[in-house]
Amino acid sequence: MAIEARAPAKVNLTLHVTGQRVDGYHLLDSLVLFADLGDRLRVERGPGLRLTVAGPLAAGVPTDDSNSILRAARLLGAEDLHFTLTKVLPTAAGIGGGTSDAAAALRAVAELSGLDLPEDVSPLGADVPVCLLARAARMEGIGEKVTPVGGLPALFAVLANPGAAVSTPAVFRRLASKTNPPMPETLPEFATARDLAAWLATQRNDLQAPAIAEQPVIAEVLKDLSALPGQLLSRMSGSGATCFALFETCAAAEAAAQALHRDRPGWWVVPCALS
């Protein structure tokens, strides 16, 4: 018997850094959506805990105990499993590649082995709780408070990454202010994607400026995305370097992605739907 699980790309439409605890963890307030594309994970019975990585972006992905998938399996106390990861998302890219993989592993192992999900998944990363939900949500605290968000309009995007890995700790070290305003306590209702984008423009990703200081190429990505016909908003996701441009229709996003790929053939550029 084999179980397959999807590990979709996580997109932070907003990311407000609202404080820092005495233990160093940062407090966040983020509106998170998930793309209809991502890594794929297969798990089946086999001797030991083993991981095989394939796919277009498999190069450089560790297969030892440092990989989040094997760490997730060990957190569950699982043994004798063989994982196969098809890697299509870039790593260290601000779209939850490793944490989404870990969440997929938790779901798959729990289903295969009949185990309950652990109450505390924080050892695997702050984004794992929201990646376990894998749909539109508000993420608060250090990531442990996840509230589903419903009623959002259909939303499409172009994701672009220039191939530059960004260190999240390095970005946080460059953050000048760590006590910034959160989103409103109650999020507005949005009739259209244009309404949502207009509201998002009044919100922030507090890590965008320090990430640009760490990797200036991010500013080029944002400039190119903001110039795409029909884009409603362009912003960086997470701690970068992946950025997104929002669109009202699938056709507009696909056309924009094709145009950007022609101009930037060395970048990772994909259209997607967000939900």
Residues with a known catalytic role: 10, 127
DSSP string for residues in 118-183: PS--GGG-TTHHHHHH-SSEEEEETTTEEEE---PPPEEEEEEE-S----HHHHHHH-S-S-----
Length of the chain: 275
> Do 212 and 205 form a contact (C-beta atoms < 8 A)?
no
Distance between CA atoms of 161 and 117, rounded to whole angstroms? Answer: 32
- H or E element: which one contains 44? strand 26-45
Strands 145-148 and 243-247, sheet pairing: unpaired
Strands 49-54 and 81-86, sheet pairing: parallel
What one-character DSSP code corresponds to residue 205?
B
| Cα distances (angstroms) measured from residue 24 to each of 110, 122, 138, 167 | 31, 14, 22, 16
Closest C-alpha to 183, from 164, 166, 206, 163: 206
Closest C-alpha to 37, from 161, 162, 157: 157
Distance between CA atoms of 76 and 37, rounded to whole angstroms? Answer: 26
